[in-house]
Chain A
Amino acid sequence: MRRVLLTGATTPLGAGLIRRLLGRDDVSLVVAVARPGEMPPVGIDDGRFVFVNADLTRSRGVRDVLWGPAKRANALVLAAHHRSVRNVGRRARLLNVESTRMMLNMAESHPHLERVVYRSFGDVYRVDSKQPAMIDEYHPLNLDPRTPQWIRDRVEADTMVSTRTGLSPLNITVLRFAPTLARNMGSQLYDFLDAPVCFTPLGFDPILNVIDLRDMVRAIDKALSNDVEGIFNIPGRDTLAMSEAIRRFGKREIGVPGAALSRLYRARARLVGGEFDYELNRGRFHWNGVLDGRRARLQLGFVPEHGINWPVGGSLPETAGGPFSLRAPAGSGLPSTEASPEPAVKLVR
Chain B
Amino acid sequence: MARMMDLMTPMPRESAIATLSRLLTSASLRERIASMPLPDEGHGVDVFGLNREWVAFGVGLMRGLYEQWFRVASSGHENIPSHGAAILAANHSGTLPFDAMMLWTDVVRNTNPPRLARTIADHFVPNLPFVSTLYARTGAVGGSRANLHALLERGDLVAVFPEGTPGIGKHFRDRYRLQTWRVGHVEFALHHRAPVVPVAIVGAEEQMPQIGRIPVGSKVFGAPYLPVMLTPFPLPVKYHIRYGEPLYLHQSFDPERYADPEVLERAAGLVAGKVNELLELGLRERKGIFR
Bound-state Cα–Cα, A201 to B126, Å = 13
Closest residue of chain A to B151 (Cβ to Cβ) is: A134
User: Does A288 lie within 8 Å of B49, measured CB to CB?
Assistant: yes
Of the listed stretches B2-10, B65-73, B158-166, B170-178, chain A binds B2-10
Decide: B144 and A130 in contact? CB cutoff 8 A: yes
Contact B44 A244 (CB under 8 A): yes
If A133-B142, A255-B10 touch, whether A203 touches B45 (CB-CB below 8 Å) is no
Q: Do A129 and B47 have beta carbons less than 8 Å apart?
A: no
- Report yes or no: A241 in contact with B45, Cβ–Cβ below 8 A: yes
Q: A207-B45, A239-B42, A239-B45 are in contact. Are A129 and B127 (CB under 8 A)?
A: yes
Contacting pair B124 A290 (CB below 8 A): no
Contacts of B13 in A (CB 8 A): 243, 247
Which size bracket describes the interface of A in this complex? Answer: 35 or more
A-B contact pairs, 24 of them (CB 8 A): A129-B142, A130-B142, A133-B142, A133-B150, A139-B146, A201-B129, A203-B10, A203-B128, A205-B10, A207-B49, A207-B136, A238-B43, A240-B41, A240-B43, A240-B45, A243-B10, A244-B44, A247-B13, A255-B11, A258-B129, A287-B142, A288-B47, A288-B49, A288-B136
Instruction: Report chain B residues within 8 Å CB of A238.
Output: 41-43
Q: Which of B9, B132, B141, B144 contacts A131 (CB 8 A)?
A: B144
**Chain B residues closer than 8 Å to A307, beta-carbon distance:** 42
Q: Given the known inter-chain contacts A130-B123, A133-B48, A244-B43, please indicate yes or no for A254 contacting B144, CB distance below 8 A.
A: no
**Residues of B with C-beta under 8 A to A247:** 13
Task: In the A-B complex, list the 6 residue pairs whose CB atoms are closest, starting with the nearest.
Answer: A203-B129, A255-B10, A132-B146, A240-B43, A239-B41, A203-B130
In chain B, residues 107-165, which have Cβ atoms closer than 8 Å to a Cβ of chain A? 123-124, 126-133, 136, 141-142, 144-147, 150
Contact code string B230-245 (vs A, CB < 8 Å = 1, else 0): 0000000000000000
A203-B132 CB under 8 A given contacts A129-B142, A131-B144, A237-B42: yes
Q: Is the CB of B10 within 8 A of A134?
A: no
Chain B nearest CB from A291 CB (Å) reads 10
What residues of chain A lie closer than 8 Å to B132, measured between beta carbons? 203-204
Given known contacts A201-B129, A207-B49, A241 and B10 CB-to-CB distance under 8 angstroms = no
Interface residues on B, range: 35 or more
CB distance from A77 to the nearest CB of B (A): 29
Q: Are A204 and B5 in contact (CB under 8 A)?
A: no
In this complex, which of B43, B51, B131, B144 has the most chain A Cβ atoms within 10 angstroms of its Cβ? Answer: B43
Are B49's CB and A255's CB within 8 A?
Answer: no
Q: B222 interface residue, CB < 8 Å from A?
A: yes
Q: Is the CB of B9 within 8 A of A132?
A: no
Decide yes or no whether A347 CB sits under 8 A from chain B: no
Given known contacts A129-B222, A132-B142, is B47 in contact with A254 (CB within 8 Å)?
no
State the CA gap A130–B5 with chains docked (Å). Answer: 32
What string of 1s and 0s marks CB contacts (under 8 Å) between B168-198 and chain A?
A: 0000000000000000000000000000000
Known: A204-B133, A205-B10, A255-B9. A241 touches B49 (CB 8 A): yes
- Inter-chain contact A254/B5, CB cutoff 8 Å: yes
